[in-house]
Amino acid sequence: MNKKILSPFRTRLYVYRFELLLASLLCVFVLNIFFPDNIYGGIAQAVYLPFQLLAATVLFESKRNLLRLVLLFALLLVACRALDLFFVKNIQNELLLLYICFFGSVMLEVFRQIYHAHLITTKIVYAAVCGLLLIGYCGFYIFLAIEFHEPGSFNGLGQGVQAMNDLFYFSYITILTVGYGDITPHTWIAKNATVLVAFTAYIYSLVVIATIVSEATRSRKKNGDGGGNGDSLS
């Protein structure tokens, strides 16, 4: 397939990058309903992991160097996951590090694009939701790494795969400040990590709301004065 055919396809995907990313992130929540005991392997992961990798590469389409970096993370993630599934090797440390780097880089790129947007459209709403979901994803992998290295760091976790599901749930309960109390951090590092994730989500919410209000006000003034067009998240 030549570049003339491929370029319009990539451009079209880039226009819908936040919708694609949002769908890929929410996909895990939906699949968790149907595959609660095997969300991190088998059919479920075969569906959402390629979806998330595609969404991430589309998000970085306009930045070649960053795209190469994300593609490297993605390839390493797939390779490590394949080794973990088909060979008896303990590479959970490497997998967790790759997940944190991958979702962390995607999260920072979403933050950057929100910050540089100068028109308030539905795109910025999708981007803002993606940013919050990505904080939850990063929090989940950080909590999982802590529990993996020091078992018992969190009270109220189930056994095996259920413990992973519980930490995924705990991450989002934390950033949403619901605080049911059924799962709590026990060790000092777990408590600090929980505060860090909650604080990040809180500051992010404040900044995003301030950005939306500020840009909406500026756009209204420009429209009233007959000013030029700004950059949008198109």
Query: pLDDT at position 189, please?
Result: 92
Query: pLDDT at position 22, please?
Result: 92
Structural domains present in the chain: 3-225 (1.10.287.70)
What pLDDT, in 10s, does the model give residues 200-216? Answer: 999 988 888 777 777 76
What pLDDT, in 10s, does the model give residues 114-141? Answer: 877 777 778 888 888 999 999 999 999 8
**DSSP characters for the chain?**
--HHHHHHHHHHHHHTHHHHHHHHHHHHHHHHHH-TT-TTSHHHHHHHHHHHHHHHHHHTTT-HHHHHHHHHHHHHHHHHHHHHHHS----HHHHHHHHHHHHHHHHHHHHHHHHT--S--HHHHHHHHHHHHHHHHHHHHHHHHHHHHSTTSEET--STHHHHHHHHHHHHHHHTT---SSSEE-SHHHHHHHHHHHHHHHHHHHHHHHHHHHHHHHHHHHHHHT--------
Query: pLDDT at position 233, please?
Result: 63
Between 222 and 182, residue with greater pLDDT: 182
- The chain-wide mean pLDDT, for the chain, equals 76
What pLDDT, in 10s, does the model give residues 139-150? Answer: 998 998 888 888
| pLDDT band, residue 42 (cuts 50/70/90) | low
| pLDDT band, residue 43 (cuts 50/70/90) | low
Query: pLDDT at position 105, please?
Result: 83
Query: pLDDT at position 2, please?
Result: 39
Query: pLDDT at position 154, please?
Result: 92
Query: pLDDT at position 191, please?
Result: 93
What pLDDT, in 10s, does the model give residues 52-107? Answer: 888 887 887 656 655 566 666 666 656 655 555 444 445 566 677 777 888 888 88
